[in-house]
């Protein structure tokens, strides 16, 4: 017979840990299933030079402040240590590596099918993030390009691009940071985007983004502008900008065998790095048919409008402002668990 629990949390990264914290505080029986073989979630897949946008205290999950780090902007290794300690400190009921292959529903509950068996639950919280679903736009001629093409999800540092001519496509924080990382190693770096770069003032950091996201919660969306596309001026980014390395080019109109056509110019390239974002990693929910036309499930209070027994945490603004950040995910996780507690209690 299938194992039973009140709630299955799919994903053991920062969103899954935040949900588990509040579920434990509420005394709700739950199980966290994590595809990874160690704590840390998607933080294991980042590039070595990546830094947090905010100091440690502004990069914390509920209940446990991230320890301070000598650098104002902590490295990924510090985040991984913190998440492993957090998981152990709160005795998160996680099982790994467990891959969820499907979720099916009937009138009595949900069945979570995994490569290690089946778990029955009254509710499922999806916290799988987006890292496993990188998005690359359709660009004419991409299949003809003889150089290397990778998504930012697979970028491991500048060494592989030494002496090369590289286009980084995408003007968000990832694209800008990768461009800055390549300066001095690659022969040429071209940053391409459809939108202009909007830098925060040099003296502010990711704390500002969280404060603005909080303001969006406390007021109407019309009163607070969107935060997407806002670039945090990290030290490496400021240095690259001072060198003139962040001059923006338009998106490629098309690729050919040797490079990209941008407007009337042809740019010779050895590699293209697509820093073009991600989509929610929800393939394991395909049997439930929860997605709308845009590929994102419609939610109300983080719960699917098609099946309220399925919830989503940590995917971005559609699951709560700043919910894809360490400090922001705790707020939406708590609100969801509070609602579920009312429902699950006799």
Domain ranges of the chain: 3-132+278-344, 148-274
> What is the mean predicted confidence (pLDDT) over 63-87?
93
Question: According to the model, what pLDDT value does residue 9 have?
Answer: 98
> What is the mean predicted confidence (pLDDT) over 247-260?
95
> What is the mean predicted confidence (pLDDT) over 226-247?
79
What does the mean pLDDT of the chain come to? 89
User: Per mean pLDDT, which range of 138-147, 240-249, 264-273, 287-296 is the poorest?
Assistant: 287-296
Question: pLDDT band for position 224 (50/70/90)?
Answer: very low
Question: pLDDT band for position 1 (50/70/90)?
Answer: low
Pick the CATH number of 3-132+278-344 from 3.30.450.20, 3.50.50.60, 3.10.129.10, 3.30.70.270: 3.50.50.60
Q: Is the pLDDT of residue 66 over 70?
A: yes
Question: According to the model, what pLDDT value does residue 211 have?
Answer: 60
3-state secondary structure of 115: coil
Asked if residues 127 and 30 have their Cβ atoms less than 8 Å apart, the reply is no
Break the chain down into helix, strand, coil percent, rounded to 5.
Answer: 30, 25, 45
In eight-state DSSP terms, residue 160 is G
Q: What is the DSSP pairing of strand 109-114 with strand 100-106? A: antiparallel
In eight-state DSSP terms, residue 252 is P
Question: According to the model, what pLDDT value does residue 207 have?
Answer: 59
**pLDDT tens, position by position, 185-222:** 999 999 999 888 888 776 665 555 556 555 554 454 43
Q: Which of 75, 138, 132 is nearest to 274 (CA)?
A: 138
Q: Is the pLDDT of residue 306 over 70?
A: yes
CATH class as words, domain 148-274: alpha beta
Question: pLDDT band for position 152 (50/70/90)?
Answer: very high
Question: According to the model, what pLDDT value does residue 205 have?
Answer: 59
User: Per mean pLDDT, which range of 8-17, 50-59, 105-114, 250-259 is the poorest?
Assistant: 50-59
Asked if residues 259 and 253 have their Cβ atoms less than 8 Å apart, the reply is no
Q: Is the pLDDT of residue 39 over 80?
A: yes
Q: Cα(158)–Cα(94) distance, rounded to whole angstroms?
A: 35
Q: What's the full length of the chain, in residues?
A: 346
Q: Is the pLDDT of residue 284 over 50?
A: yes
Q: Cα(75)–Cα(310) distance, rounded to whole angstroms?
A: 34
Collect contacts of 186-189 with beta carbons under 8 A, ≥24 apart: 186/158, 186/161, 186/162, 187/163, 189/245
Q: Is the pLDDT of residue 225 over 80?
A: no
Q: What percent of the chain has pLDDT over 70?
A: 91
Question: According to the model, what pLDDT value does residue 131 have?
Answer: 86
Question: According to the model, what pLDDT value does residue 230 have?
Answer: 77
Asked if residues 243 and 231 have their Cβ atoms less than 8 Å apart, the reply is no
Question: According to the model, what pLDDT value does residue 222 have?
Answer: 38
> What is the mean predicted confidence (pLDDT) over 266-282?
95
Q: Which of 269, 243, 229, 271 is nearest to 180 (CA)?
A: 243
């Amino acid at each position: 017979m299938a194992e039973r629990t009140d709630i299955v949390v799919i994903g053991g990264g920062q969103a899954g840990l935040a949900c588990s914290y509040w579920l434990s505080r509420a005394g709700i029986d739950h199980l966290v299933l994590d595809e990874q073989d160690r704590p840390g979630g998607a933080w294991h897949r980042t590039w070595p030079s990546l830094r947090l946008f905010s100091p440690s205290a502004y990069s914390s999950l509920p209940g446990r402040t991230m320890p301070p780090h000598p650098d104002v902007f902590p490295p990924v290794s510090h985040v991984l240590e913190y998440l492993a300690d957090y998981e152990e400190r709160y005795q998160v009921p996680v099982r790994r590596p467990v891959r969820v292959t499907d979720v099916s529903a009937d009138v009595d509950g949900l069945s979570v099918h995994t490569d290690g068996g089946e778990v029955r639950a009254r509710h499922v919280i999806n916290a799988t993030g987006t890292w496993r679903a990188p998005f690359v736009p359709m660009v004419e001629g991409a299949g003809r390009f003889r150089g290397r093409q990778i998504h930012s999800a697979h970028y491991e540092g500048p060494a592989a691009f030494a002496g090369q001519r590289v286009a980084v496509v995408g003007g968000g924080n990832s694209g800008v940071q990768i461009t800055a990382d390549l300066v001095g190693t690659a022969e040429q770096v071209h940053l391409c985007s459809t939108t202009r770069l909007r830098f925060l003032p040099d003296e502010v950091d990711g704390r500002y983004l969280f404060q603005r996201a909080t303001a969006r919660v406390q007021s109407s969306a019309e009163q607070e502008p969107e935060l997407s596309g806002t670039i945090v001026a990290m030290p490496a980014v400021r240095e690259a900008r001072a060198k003139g390395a962040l001059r923006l080019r338009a998106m490629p109109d098309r690729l050919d065998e040797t490079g990209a056509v941008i407007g009337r110019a042809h740019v010779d390239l050895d590699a293209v790095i697509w820093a073009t974002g991600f989509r929610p990693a929800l393939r394991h929910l395909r049997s439930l048919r929860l997605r709308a036309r845009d590929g994102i499930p419609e939610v109300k209070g983080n719960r699917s409008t098609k099946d309220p027994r399925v919830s989503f945490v940590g995917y971005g603004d559609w699951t709560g402002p700043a919910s894809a950040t360490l400090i922001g995910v705790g707020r939406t996780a708590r609100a969801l668990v509070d609602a579920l507690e009312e429902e699950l209690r006799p």
